[in-house]
Amino acid sequence: MKPKVVIYKKIPQEVLSYIKQYCRVSYYEHLESWSNPEFLNDLKDAHGMLGSGMSINKKLLDRAPQLKIVCNASVGYNNFDMDELTLRGIMATNTPDVLTDTTADTIFGLLLSAARRICEMDRYVKDGKWNRLIGEDLFGIDVHHKVLGIIGMGRIGTAIAKRANLGFDMEILYHNRSRNENAEKLYGAKKTELDDLLSKSDFVCLMTPLTEETKNLISYREFEIMKKNAIFINGSRGETVNEKALVKALTTRQIAGAGLDVYKEEPINPNHPLLKLNNTVTLPHMGSATAETRTKMAFLAAENMVRGLSGETPPSLINTTLLSAR
């Protein structure tokens, strides 16, 4: 009998058809809560799960005793209790690489929008306020030949460095646990301590994964170190930033502006003070949101699922320590 999988995220029909060739599928296109009785019943004999965002923790895993693999259709996997999954011998996978360039495009676009006040000026024109040459109060900030500091020089951080250095002649500083020799060689990136990066950068781009060490990595002290004309970009996870500290830095003009694609609470509360600030560009966590990329992500998640359940090594296995136990 084919293994049973539970899909709790809308995926393209062609991806769903691919999975059905190899698995029995319980498909929840719009699952509002994992406490849904039908969903919980399906977990009892599920061998695999595919989706994103849902917290895969001990409480849920206790309801899925036959589970062999969980597949995130995203690059991030902070929703996984990795210790618990590995302890139970359950494979965990994600979808890196396929979204690198698309996300880098979004983040650099966010940087440009914040620097040149593009969203604000769009509203200015559409609201009928453009009736004369704009004055200095509406001027933006140059991006070219400036210093970009990237915190977290992984795949996406490197792709951002490429766009910044080769496209805009920007000097690249980066802070990372290990050296990124490729970024150093190709884009002249310089590895620095965090405080040096913060004090020297005209743009600070946060791209680190969310871990216990990176929670509130950027807070009151870090914003105080930044230049007064610096622009802060967050394309990582909302919890890597103390949002109260960010609001203070923006409202007091401790920094010049911000561009955000992620928030501590998502969707963000409509009354959140960040949404009231003209010097902040806010996006709805859309870094990888193109049809082409989301389809590639879904196919990679599906391939991880199918190969994992067939006894092969999934292409994007996270807890690789399980390989030695096979």
Q: What single-letter amino acid sits at 50?
A: L
* Active-site residue, selected from the candidate residues 24, 88, 155, 285: 285
Q: CA triplet 24, 29, 32: central angle to 5 degrees?
A: 120
- Inter-residue contact 51 to 9 (CB < 8 Å): yes
How far is CA 11 from each of CA 34, 69, 193, 315, rounded to the nearest angstrom?
A: 18, 18, 41, 19
Out of 47, 175, 237, 294, the active site residue is: 237
Q: Please give the single-letter amino acid code of residue 90.
A: I
Contact criterion met (CB below 8 Å) for 148 and 294? no
Place of tokens 């995926």: 11
CA gap 275, 265 in Å, rounded:
13
Catalytic one of 14, 224, 266, 312: 266
The verdict on whether 266 is a catalytic residue reads: yes
CB burial class (10 A; 0-12, 13-18, 19+) of residue 256? buried
SS3 state of residue 155: helix
209 vs 167: CA distance, rounded Å? 26
Q: CA-to-CA distance for 290 and 20, rounded, in angstroms?
A: 24
237 is a catalytic site residue = yes
Any idea which residues carry the catalytic annotation? 237, 266, 285
